[in-house]
Structure 1
Amino acid sequence: MSGAPVRVVVADDERMVRTALRVILDAEEGIEVVGEAATGAEAVSVVRELRPDVVLMDVRMPEIDGIRATEQILATLEDPPRVVVVTTFENDAYVYEALHAGAAGFLLKRSAAEELVQAVRLVACGDSLLYPAAVRTLAAEHAGRRAAGAPWVARLTGREADVLRLMAAGLTNAEIAGRLSVGAATAKTHVAAVLAKTGARDRTQAVIAAYESGFITPG
């Protein structure tokens, strides 16, 4: 990769996990682990100091958990990093809360090294690490926890509604363009409009909002 490397902070209360993630990422061209944290509070402090591009955040840590740490990072930094939650179980309630808090996606601890690297590169480019089946399952399991209905639903155009459904299915901008027979720039414009109307930070939050509002029904 050309240009500046993707700067990563690894937050996990297990030293062995932090070491393993560092070894994998530092071996990749264009990626540099610039810091580590063993607690949620330390993660917030390290991120504020080092201003990385990506944070790999364990959800269960001492002092404050990864969800609260993610919320603090995203709420207090003007240009916050992309946060990827690292978890053991994809259907963990913590995962849903982290995505709702603004995490760009999640990664399972059993993931292969190449999946880890791909995830870091993906979110560093501004995309989301969205697993449609997992998000659908999580939304179904946690349905009813938040009020259904949202004023933004009525503001969507017909084409924007189609785009949001395709986003929920995990399609990229290029795939959305192909499915709707429009240009890539047009698809990107529609996605941007959906994010603006839902008030979402990224695609993952837009999809979560779609489920929570009842615009998309799990199953």
Structure 2
Amino acid sequence: MQDSVLQQIITIVLADDHSLVRDGIGALLEEEPDLDVIGEVSNGLEAIQMVEDLAPDILIIDIRMPELGGIETVERLNENPNLKTKCIILSMHDSEEYILKSVQAGASGYLLKDTGKTEFVKAIHMVQEGGKYFSGDISNVLVNNLFSSGKNINDKSTSKERKSNPFDLTNKELKVLELVLAGYTNKEISEKLKNSKRTIETHRFNLMKKMKVKNLIDLSKKASEYNLV
């Protein structure tokens, strides 16, 4: 009976370069009787070493860290067929680019840092049982990409096929470009795409930087020249 109980415990390693974040997540998870945080690290290289040493069931890792970021860490861990640890990326960003790169690296989940406790625990259990978990609007990004590409999202060739323009704009940036050129304001675009105004401003800044333009007229000319809309 005791062995059966022990087998149900899900062991977890936390990787985040902010100790307050690790403390907060650790305190949250400790309230669950079947979750056990067995280690904490502050960068990707340490995460790899701890996963190899402790073989936890789950690695919860921040997307941006010193030494080695979360996506690169997950990718390296998945290159080792002997490691069975499943990885959940934790991030402040709902960027389509980050999400798709995380999935292609082998992550089983992607959670935003403002995820509530109920969803957080649900994600851990689902991933442990062999499923995938992507919170909120993130799942919609994945589904939309899957249907638009017509390919398995885990196929790394997807990232190459998405580069259908010389500026390597993401699908979200292309959509923002289309709406900007249609005359919509940032506020109107945020309402249409169900993103914050600040997120839309970031996408707009990024696409103009990638296309090397400084105003709407040049943006329109270049978009027309390369048949982007």
TM range (shorter): 0.5 to 0.7
Mapped partners of 1:104, 1:22: distance in 2: 20
Which residue is equivalent to 1:133? 140
TM-score, scaled to structure 2? 0.60
Equivalences for residues 181-192 of structure 1 within 5 A: none
Which residue is equivalent to 1:18? 22
Deviation at 1:208, TM superposition (A): 4.1
Which residue is equivalent to 2:52? 48
- For each residue in 1:108-137, what CA deviation from the matched residue of structure 2 results, as whole angstroms up to 9, or x when unmatched? 100001111111111011111145303145
Deviation at 1:138, TM superposition (A): 6.1
Which residue is equivalent to 1:105? 109
Contact 1:13 1:37 in 2 (8 A): yes
Contact 1:70 1:83 in 2 (8 A): yes
Question: What's the Cα RMSD here?
Answer: 3.0
1:38 corresponds, among 36, 42, 61, to 42
Which residue is equivalent to 2:11? 7
Which residue is equivalent to 1:79? 83
Which residue is equivalent to 2:74? 70
Deviation at 1:6, TM superposition (A): 0.2
Whether 2:124 is the aligned partner of 1:115: answer no
Deviation at 1:93, TM superposition (A): 2.5
Contact 1:91 1:138 in 2 (8 A): no
Deviation at 1:97, TM superposition (A): 1.1
Query: Which structure 2 residue ranges, 5 or more long, are not aligned?
Result: 162-170, 176-229
**DSSP 3-state at the match of 1:76:** coil
Deviation at 1:67, TM superposition (A): 1.1
Count how many residue pairs are aligned between Structure 1 and Structure 2.
155
Q: Which has the higher contact order (CA 8 A, sep 6+)?
A: 1
Mapped partners of 2:98, 2:118: distance in 1: 24
Contact 2:74 2:105 in 1 (8 A): yes
Mapped partners of 2:61, 2:144: distance in 1: 22
Deviation at 1:207, TM superposition (A): 3.8
Deviation at 1:44, TM superposition (A): 0.6
- Structure 1 ranges of 4+ moved more than 4 A: 137-140
Give 1:212's aligned amino acid: T
Which residue is equivalent to 1:212? 158
Contact 2:77 2:83 in 1 (8 A): no
Give 1:70's aligned amino acid: V
Mapped partners of 1:25, 1:77: distance in 2: 28
Q: Kindly name which structure, 1 or 2, has the bigger radius of gyration based on alpha carbons.
A: 2
Mapped partners of 2:21, 2:6: distance in 1: 28
